[in-house]
Structure 1
Amino acid sequence: MSYHNELGKTGELFGAKFLEDKGFTIIERNWRHGRYEIDIIASLKDTIHFIEVKTRSSKTFGLPEESVSADKVKRLSVAANAYLQMNTGWKWVQHDILSITLVNGHDPQFHFMEDVWVGAGNVRI
């Protein structure tokens, strides 16, 4: 497995633990709909959260959340809508980004941005 894939998987493990510590229940990890994937699907109270996890090993090339493109948002929205069609009953829905910076020798840095877009392409970072 390439380094960036390993970094991403490590970030998702840290991310799931971070969310559980905040009271979230993890419903799915790496949920796929065709060629689209949602990193983490979680719930908190009566809200379902579709969470994109972005991990970097430094801030040299910018913050992790800056790599979430409009095209990625559209793909995530398609996958989230498919999930909601198969799993009805959710009254509240949020699309979130969990940004993680993992620097050797330091504790992970988390930046959790909730409800960052509504529908495809309307990113509010």
Structure 2
Amino acid sequence: MGKHNEFGKEGERIGVDFLKNKGYSILSTNYRYLKSEIDIIAKKDGILAIVEVRARSNDRIMPIADTITPQKIKLLVMGADHFVTDNGLDLEVRFDLITILKNSKIFKIEHLEGAFYHF
């Protein structure tokens, strides 16, 4: 596995731990449906959080949050819809983003709740 893939997986583990520490229940990680993959599906206070995790070692070229394309959002929505339907859930759904910036051995973590919306 390439170093960037290893760091991506490490970022997802950091994201899970971060959400657990904020009181979220983790329902699924790396949930796949067709071409959709959702990094983390978590629940807190009656809200289902569909969480995309982005981990980078620098953000000089563009901010991490700007790396999510409209196609990626479309796939996240499709996967979330399938998860909700398949599990018979009746919850408010929110799309979140966790960004992890690693400089040397220091991690900067941001959790953007409601990072984007589907209309």
Q: Normalising TM by the smaller chain, what interval?
A: over 0.9
- Aligned residue pairs: how many? 119
Q: TM-score, normalised by structure 1?
A: 0.89
Displacement of 1:86 in angstroms is 0.5
Q: What letter is aligned with 2:111?
A: F
Correspondence 1:14-33 to 2 at 5 A:
14-33=14-33
User: Structure 1 stretches of 5 or more lacking a match?
Assistant: none
Query: Is the contact between residue 47 and residue 90 of structure 1 (CA under 8 Å) also seen in structure 2?
Result: no
Aligned-residue CA RMSD (Å):
1.2
Q: Does 1:112 align with 2:104?
A: no
* Structure 1 stretches of 4+ moved >3 Å: none
Q: What letter is aligned with 1:99?
A: T
Between the aligned partners of 2:91 and 2:14, the Cα distance in structure 1 is 28
Displacement of 1:2 in angstroms is 1.1
More strand by share: 2
Q: What letter is aligned with 2:114?
A: D
Q: What letter is aligned with 1:96?
A: D
Correspondence 1:21-100 to 2 at 5 A:
21-100=21-100
> Equivalent pairs: percent with the same residue?
29
User: Structure 2 stretches of 5 or more lacking a match?
Assistant: none
Q: TM-score, normalised by structure 2?
A: 0.93
Between the aligned partners of 2:26 and 2:96, the Cα distance in structure 1 is 14
